[in-house]
Every structure is written in C-alpha cells, then in structure tokens.
Amino acid sequence: MASGQGTTHTRRLQLTGGATFTVSIPKEWANFHSLKAKDSLKIDWRPSGAIRITPANESKVKRKEITLAVDKIPVGSLVDHLVAAYIASTDRIKLISKNGFNRNQKSRIKRFLRITTGFEIMDEEENRIELLNLLNIGEMPLQSSLNRMYLQLTSIIRDIVDVLSGEDSSLLIDVEDREREMDAIQLLIQRQVGALLESHKVAVDLHTERRKAIEIANLARTLERMGDHAQQLAELILTTENKPKLDFNEEPLNKLAIWQTSIKALMVNIRTRNPHEIHDARMALKKAQIELSEHEDSLWGGRTSATSVLYKFRLSESIRRLCAYARDMGEILLNIIACENANLK
C-alpha cells in the first residue's frame, strides 16, 4: 500500500480566470500513478454526488500477489487461507516451505484448485509452489454466473423428482460434482465482487454498480446454500433403503413444484424487476414453509417406524429450507429495486 493511501485530504477550491474552479491533488497520489504535469485525468460524477478522479491512461487493474509460509499454517486450515487469498482477488499465490511440502499439504493445495476457478500451478519446486490466476476477472458477467448456478441447482432437483418418481437412481451419482461447481462459481462471484469494490475498472468491465454487486453476491450465497440442501436430499435418497412410497400430491413432495415455479420467477426478476411477481413468489414460498413445518410436527404422532418418520422428516426439512432460501432471494431482489429507485436528496 502506498504511503498515505486510505487517508483523507482536504483541499480548498481555487477560482481561476473568474470562471473555472480548480483543486490540487496529493503529490503522493500523482507519484503512485506515475503522473506528470499535463497528463490527463478522468473525472466521473457519481450518482451519490461524489466525484471520482482516475488517471486517463489507466488501462488495467494492478495484479495482486501474496506469499504464504505453509509451515506456519495449520494443515487443516490451509485451504481456508488459500480461499481467503482467492476471494481477496489475489492473482499470484506463492507458497513456501522450509522443510518441503508433504503429501497432506499437496493434497489440500490440489483441493483448492478443484473448488476454485482460474488458478493453476505455474511453478513447483521442493520448497516453493506458485499458483497463478489465468482468468480475467472482468470477462465473466455476474448474471451469467448466477444463471449457471441456477441451472445446476434446478437440474439436481429435477433429477431428484425423477428418481422419486421411479427413474434409476444413477441420475444422482454426479450430484456432488454439480454441487461442487456451484460452490466454485459462488467463490468466483465473491472474488469478482471483492475486486469490483476495490477497483472502478472492474466495475466498468462488469457493467455493475457496487451496491448491486453486493446484492448479487448475496444472491449467489443463497443459491449455494440451496445447492447444499439439494445435495443432502440426493444423499438421503441414495442412502436410504426401503424408502416409503410418497405421493407428489401430498406433503412434502407437493411443495417441490411450488419451489420450482417460484425460484424460476425470482431468477427472471433479477432482470425484469417486477415487484408483484416477486411478492407472489415470496408469499407462495412462505405458505409452503408453514405447511411443511406443520407436516413435520404431525409426523411424530403416528405409529410409523422410526426409520420411515426420520426419512420423511429430513425430506421435508430440506424442502422447507429450499423454500426459505428462495424467499431470501426475493428479499434481496426487493433491496436491489429499492436501491435503484431511491432518490438522493
């Protein structure tokens, strides 16, 4: 970080030629950007009323790098440290070890590469491993990433419905891979939004205002959590023997159709912003949540076997949580609409 970066400077306006206001800029800032007299600056008048000044010749975002001393990091948290560096929009990660990397450490580095997008091992020696990001953070539209998450999520639920309807359970064998892709996209969105908040250049490349980007990150997080529950549903179905036969016209399976219809409407409204459609979807999901909760309470009063009751309860609970997170999506969309419609005074 350059000396003085992050501090606030106060400058007085000067009247030049009787018609033009001028203001001086900090010399350290000019030196940091390698500016000299007569260089051009871009001045943007932001919607908030603030003015942003940037060098006119600034063509790319500065690449960030970090060095991690692996010997000083608990092996169990190595992936967490790497993910934190990833989300912080670091482009180069240097891992060093005085004693060399053991098998466990290398395995966790490979796991990090599997659960993220864009990083590859560019150089590897006995005491040093260098990871480099090959993906331009501004080339993947945020909306496209959300759509990919949605498609993976709905494909899992669709296959769950098919298996419960009698199709072969092999449809669900790759659910873990699909959920892992959702996790990777969600981390990519967090990385993009973090970079966008730091750099106006990334915001311009992604065509996204910063407040909206934060809400998009929240949308991605709710989709990722729904992916977790979809995976739990699939695992429950795959691992439960002698599953009780359930009717799609009764609780809890009848709520899957409500969830599918509602989340489709909410995804459409990321673009169309129709408050009435968002409200209708949220109310349908709320009603489904209440009815599923009542259904779960009723399960414990019968004479059905404990295995059957537990299966039905866990099925209902995951569907109810799918509805809850989808309702959260509706609230986030309303936040976006409110932000766009707010008039600054």
Q: What is the pLDDT of residue 15?
A: 84
My answer on whether 336 and 201 are in the same domain is: yes
**For the chain, how many structural domains are there in total?**
3
Element (DSSP H or E) covering residue 96: strand 92-96
Q: What is the CATH number of the domain that holds 282?
A: 1.20.58.220
Residue 155, in any domain of the structure? yes
Q: Which domain holds residue 269?
A: 142-242+253-341
Domain boundary pick from 84, 111, 133: 133
The answer for residues whose C-beta is within 8 angstroms of residue 329's C-beta and 6 or more apart is 219, 222, 223, 263, 266
My answer on whether 232 and 173 are in the same domain is: yes
The answer for residues whose C-beta is within 8 angstroms of residue 49's C-beta and 6 or more apart is 344
My answer on whether 51 and 189 are in the same domain is: no
My answer on whether 216 and 337 are in the same domain is: yes
**pTM, to two decimals:** 0.83
My answer on whether 73 and 51 are in the same domain is: no
Tokens 């659910």 found at:
175
Strand partners, 67: 94
Domain boundary pick from 133, 162, 184: 133
**Pairing of β 65-69 and β 92-96:** parallel
Residue 247, in any domain of the structure? no
Q: What is the CATH number of the domain that holds 47?
A: 2.10.260
My answer on whether 266 and 171 are in the same domain is: yes
Q: Which tokens is 341 given?
A: 């419609």
pLDDT digits (tens, 9 = 90+) for 20-51: 888 888 888 888 878 888 888 888 776 666 78
My answer on whether 259 and 296 are in the same domain is: yes
Q: What is the mean pLDDT of each run of 10 residues along the chain (345 residues)?
A: 64 80 86 84 73 72 86 94 95 95 95 94 95 88 95 98 96 96 96 88 83 94 98 96 92 97 97 96 98 94 82 97 98 92 59
My answer on whether 122 and 189 are in the same domain is: no
Question: How far apart are the C-alpha atoms of 290 and 294, rounded to whole Å?
Answer: 6
